[in-house]
Structure 1
């Protein structure tokens, strides 16, 4: 997708929106870290306070961008995880704005400048692609889930062009079938749908392939009249209602795909 030409006014929007967004994000990050100093010894893995700061920052991001966020459906109250399609770096803001949870991300993200630090501070669970790490990662998942954390996954394994859903990989779902977790765990499929700004390519908000993050960020910040994003929470399902992880992954993929097709 060709990046649109940015005007002088567009560059001014990049500067002031970027400064405000960066100030809110990292200013609140300092507050979060200070609060975590008290929260951690009192509550351990549970985080009753700091997720509210993360949610505030993510909601403010859409206010700063002047990009409407529409949330449909109900966030599940049961213990479990959320699985969603992955189209853009904006997905992280959208999901965190709509609910309070913790992302599961590939281990490489932990080493990304600025973003890795932010992800660690907000409680992201990092996973390695090495088979030798599978057992340890499963233990981490179990501990977080038993602590009442809602984990958020992108089962496609990569981001897309925002107008399609890739097949869901069932590997991460395996953590839900261990030590009796399947008897208490619920999974909620979530569709994230973007409407591009008027006159722009339908894939405008999609960030995929070899796109540079900085270039895509600038393009979004520069846009005068934004489109919108819709987060749709589908009905949660109990893990033990499915015979195995592949069946559960297939159900979630079908729900998310149906939700996206209904909005395109």
Structure 2
């Protein structure tokens, strides 16, 4: 990716028609190495816009990237994390600060990415969980979708349902609170048996059908939560 990016930038500027597929390939290889089976339901949208998903773990990044080229929106703190921050920057992650003084500039930056045709992936809960629930979505993250000059945008809700290896607790893949990355990664790698992750791509939602960001956030939250409850239900699908 580092070798191709300068050539890609010279030919296509801020667009990235080639290098995101390297990320897709790497993540597809990484999942079996992590002892995970990927199950996909539905398909990523082709329309211009963004995607949102529930957030359980650092492993969400691998599962989502293995399905399609996309660009994550992450907290600014991620940029400074050893290893992870470097990878996030290299793959085109957009970092945001949770401060009012930067809100206008960040809205403009996200809108610019959308105009380029980049499909941005948000985690609107604002934090990760144990993977068994969906927290309320933060509406402010959807500001850029209502930017002047952006028309015909869609946003696709995505549900991630993690299923632990046999004999492990249901929250095995969840990474939240004060849990350290290193020990959690080693626990996943050392687990006997294989787990699996379902990535459920729900139908895209037209942004223009919603009066404001709060209405949009409520609808997307409901879609993602319903998908998780169905996926984790003990009854047959």
Corresponding residue for residue 177 of structure 2: 209
Corresponding residue for residue 42 of structure 2: 73
Matched, 1:44 2:26: no
Deviations 1:40-60 (A, max 9, x none): 011011101000100011111
Corresponding residue for residue 161 of structure 1: 130
Corresponding residue for residue 213 of structure 2: 245
Q: CA-atom RMSD, angstroms? A: 0.8
Deviations 1:44-89 (A, max 9, x none): 1110100010001111111212311011102111000000000010
Deviations 1:208-264 (A, max 9, x none): 111111110010011121210010000001100001100100000000000000011
Give the drift of 1:142.
1.1
Corresponding residue for residue 223 of structure 1: 191
SS at match of 1:33: coil
Distance 1:192 1:112 in 2: 24
Corresponding residue for residue 10 of structure 1: none
SS at match of 2:2: helix
Corresponding residue for residue 112 of structure 1: 81
Corresponding residue for residue 185 of structure 1: 153
Contact 2:30 2:62 in 1 (8 A): yes
Distance 2:164 2:109 in 1: 38
Report how many aligned residue pairs link the two structures: 232
TM-score (norm 1): 0.87
Query: Which contiguous aligned blocks of 4+ residues in structure 1 show a shift greater than 4 angstroms?
Result: none
Contact 2:8 2:16 in 1 (8 A): yes
Distance 2:173 2:62 in 1: 13
* Structure (1 or 2) with the larger CA radius of gyration: 1
Give the drift of 1:197.
0.7
Q: Which has the higher helix share?
A: 1
Contact 2:35 2:189 in 1 (8 A): no
Pairing partner for 1:171 from 125, 130, 140: 140
Give the drift of 1:37.
1.1
Contact 2:202 2:223 in 1 (8 A): yes
List runs of 5+ in structure 2 lacking aligned partners.
233-237
Matched, 1:126 2:92: no
List runs of 5+ in structure 1 lacking aligned partners.
1-31
Pairing partner for 2:162 from 179, 182, 194: 194
TM-score (norm 2): 0.96
